Chains A and B, each alone.
Chain A
Amino acid sequence: MKQYLVFGLIFAIAVVLLIVAEVPSKDDFSPDNPLFNGLSQASKIADIQTVTIGSLGSLPPNSTLFIIGPDKAFTEKQADEIRGFLERGGSAVVMDDFGTANSLLMMLTVNTRLNGSLLMDPLYMYRNPALPLVRFDLKGEEMNVYFNYATVLEGTDDGKCIAYSSPFSFLDLNGNGKKDPEEPYGPFCVAESLKNFQGRLIVISDSSVFINSMLDKGDNEKLLDALVGNGRAFLLTGLWNQSEYTLIRSSISGGFSALMNTWLLYPFALALLFVGMEVGSILYIHLQMKSRKGYSQEDIEAILRRHPEWKREEIEELLEEMKK
């Protein structure tokens, strides 16, 4: 009974690990999510590494930090760390639409704000006015980039506006999906570049530009390349409301990664050796006993030759009993 418990537990752990390894996260902006709302392709193309608050201090100064679609308001500590990254000459790209990046911009003492109303363009778009086309001018290079449920920027006097929506675009203030007389027409500033400390802060009014389903539209991928440049790219994680599965998955993979890259690997390996020995010995004994219990048809025939009066069925039944 005890053996079955051990084997069951090991099997359950193996199944969980297999699921975690094979079934990706479905969360928005997850770098492991290969579905339409994930960032798996962008992560692969730009070799984006994930990073959390608390470790921004170790990023190289010429790297680009993507802060995409935060769900939670930023704390003073988080803002301080991002400020420190900018002070050391890093580039931070804040991409948000109706989220909470305004709290970060406020703490970085930047006047730029995300308006929060939906940007629509009935002419320059992809299939639907809520997926408008905007024009970027980054380092003299023009790019046509598609947004996906985006907003616009306000208070962009401090920096340089690097992307505008078309003159046909409008702000859907009441959310009815149509242009009403009181709703303003574009062009609107949708991305701004600000020189901040030693580094550069870029604010983009859409969080979905680099998701898997948008990366192949227009020049979206080109924009990603231009933003990353020659440095390394990092994605700030821990800003989203994660699903339970993603939480478990990231905890397991994080724990595994921590084990593999730290001194904890050695005690863990020894502990694993203990478990392996225990399981191995159980298995070995089990197999040995099983092989010993094996009786062939020839054995039965030999017994019957010696004892013709014995019943074959009874012998067979007896052997089956012995196997158990």
Chain B
Amino acid sequence: MKSLWIVFMLSLIFVGLTAEGITYPRQVDPSKVKEEWDPLLLIPLFSSFSNSVYTGNYAAAQENITNILISYLPESYRNVLERGASLMQQLLGQLNQTEALINQTETSINQSMFPEARKAISEARVQLSYANITYVSLLDAISVLPLGANRLSQSLSGIAEKIQLLSLTLNELEKIANSEPFIETTISITAEPLVVRWGHYLEIKGRLSASGGDPLPGRTVEVHVGDLIISTVTGEGGYYDIAYNITSYSSQLAVYAEYIPVGDDVFTYRYSKSDILNVSVIYVTPKISVNLNGTSYLPGETIMLKITSYIQTEVPFSVISAIGNYTGTLYNETEVDLKVPSYIEDGVYTINVITPPVGDIAPFVWSTNLTVHRLNLSLSFVLPQRLISGKTYIMNVETPVPCNLSVSSSAGEAKVEGSTIILQVPLLYFGKSMNVIILAVPADPSYSPVIITSSAEVINPIPIAVSITLGAVALLYIAKKLLAVSKEIAAPKLPSIPLSTEEEESSVMGGIYSQIRRLYGIRMEPWMTYREYLNKLAERAEEEIVYLLKDILYKLERFLYGGREYSSLLRVAEERARLLYRKLKSMIGGKK
């Protein structure tokens, strides 16, 4: 038997082993799963951060820090990484600040604001030294990670290189700022004409000279015409001259010239800026009006745009919107019809009407918002408040437009036949309520689909009938049970025998015991058996009394335990008890 068990268990293990393949558990308890961590995987993250810093892509560097923080690290190293990430964050701020100050320095130098430039350099140096300290702290903080000191410093070398690069840049700028150029420059400007037609040329002239009036030939001058910057080089005598074809549709253009020293001039000449001239541009502003036939549309409806042009030239135009597009040519007046697609969702849509620039005619843009909405579909459907299990209900659904109806219910079978819903409540459905859901999809896209959920109380007659029957049975049962219980727990006692018609209210046996107690002083104690009582009585009472009582008790006992067949004995006992009672009473009377 024992060997059979061993064979059985071994076969179970064997079957278990053969069943094992690449079957994964659906899940494991994360608190009990084996920890597997490769610290070397942090190296690419650090390298990526370092490279982002080196290339000045601080946004990417910031993302790298987030990625480092969400990567897995055992709890013992978690605070190290959090400290490292905090230092990286600090480092980014300091480098960013340094670069901002460098930019500020360059701008100041370009505009010959040298004291400001020197101040910015000084502040930048402070920030850079902080960044250097932070970098060293970072290396120190994360040196506890099991990555190896060399590998770690190599992965973050981009930061060191960046600090070095910024330091070199600052040195260069400092050199420029400290050798402050001292020769002021002046740049003049004239423009002809000051009111120019679109497509015509604007002639801009001027001169660049050093303080004292010495011309500065061969210098690059930047001429601003509105938002446009045109670079030109000064000729002999420091003069510059450009002709610019005006193609802007701005009515006013600010025109001025700037001299920004470059190369060796940075150390010699100062920045200068000319006066600003305002040039007016003449072009045709299109007068076009657009009218819509409404502001709110239903799917399937047509949007009618009436576009009127007040210019005597034919211009192309486009209507652009998420509802639909249209391209055509506009002359005097044209009408465009856009049909709102049936599939489009309800919402607010923008309609744009644009004309492109055509020669001296400026572009035109007009836009407005319009609303697309569907009408609410009102379904008329009445589900009875109470449904009876086993019955079939036929209900009509009335809709203002033809609809595709579908119905489902939480119990029973529900189906649609035309516009009629047939609901069958199963006889054996014992739930107290049920839901009926109707989905109506209108054929007309102007209406929204509607879902109606109706609920009704369900009454099942079977359990109600069973309950009533059971209730009636229960009442009978309770009555019977109460009777039986009271009978069961009732102590067997001698029947009460009325002494006479006058004395029926008291017990004859009680009367006998009472008389005997008074005559002989013998009490029927609760613990006494009748025999003990009779024995006691025999010691003091007359033989006849003892005999009579013994006879009565004997007969009563026979009746009590013998049942109905001894009922005649009860009558005899009753008669004799009355006799004995009277006898005892007369004996008491005689004694008195």
Contacts and interface: CB of A to CB of B under 8 A. Distances in A.
Interface of A: 28, 36-37, 55, 57-58, 60-61, 69, 84, 87-89, 97-99, 118, 122-131, 133, 144, 146, 148-149, 168, 174-175, 177, 198, 207-208, 211, 213-214, 217, 258, 261-264, 266-267, 270-271, 273-274, 277-278, 281, 284-285, 288-289, 292, 299, 302-303, 306
B27 A281 contact: no
Closest 7 CB pairs of A and B: A58-B410, A57-B408, A208-B27, A175-B22, A262-B430, A263-B463, A270-B470
A33 B410 CA distance: 28
A303 B27 contact: no
Contacts of B431: 261-263
Interface in B426-477: 430-432, 434-435, 437, 439, 449, 451, 453, 459-460, 462-464, 466-467, 470-471, 474, 477
B24 A302 contact: no
B28 interface: yes
B400 interface: no
A273 B481 CA distance: 12
B212 interface: no
A174 B484 CA distance: 78
A284 B489 contact: yes
B45 to A, nearest CB: 8
Task: Choose among B22, B431, B478 the residue with the greatest number of A CB atoms under 10 Å from its CB.
Answer: B22
Given A58-B437, A274-B477, A285-B489, A127 B72 contact: yes
Interface in B458-509: 459-460, 462-464, 466-467, 470-471, 474, 477-478, 481, 484-485, 488-489, 491
Contact of A168 (B35, B41, B451): B41
Contacts, number: 162
A267 B489 contact: no
B72 A57 contact: no
Contacts of B484: 281
Contacts of B460: 262-263
28 contacts: A36-B29, A36-B30, A37-B26, A37-B29, A69-B26, A88-B408, A89-B451, A122-B36, A124-B72, A127-B30, A127-B35, A127-B36, A131-B28, A131-B33, A148-B27, A148-B28, A148-B30, A168-B41, A207-B26, A207-B27, A262-B432, A264-B430, A270-B467, A278-B481, A284-B485, A288-B489, A292-B491, A302-B527
A277 B71 CA distance: 67
A149 B410 contact: no
A98 B71 contact: no
A213 B451 CA distance: 39
Interface residues of B, number: 58
Nearest to A173: B22
A277 B408 contact: no
B591 interface: no
A263 B527 CA distance: 57
B26 A98 contact: yes
B355 to A, nearest CB: 36
Contacts of B172: none
- What secondary structure prevails in chain B residues at the interface with A? mixed
Contacts of A274: 470, 474, 477
B188 interface: no
B430 A258 contact: yes
Given A124-B67, A278-B481, 11 more contacts: A58-B410, A97-B24, A149-B25, A149-B28, A258-B430, A262-B430, A264-B430, A266-B464, A273-B474, A274-B474, A284-B489
Contacts of A118: 24
B38 interface: yes
Contacts of A264: 430, 463
Interface in B313-330: none
B71 A124 contact: yes
A57 B33 CA distance: 41
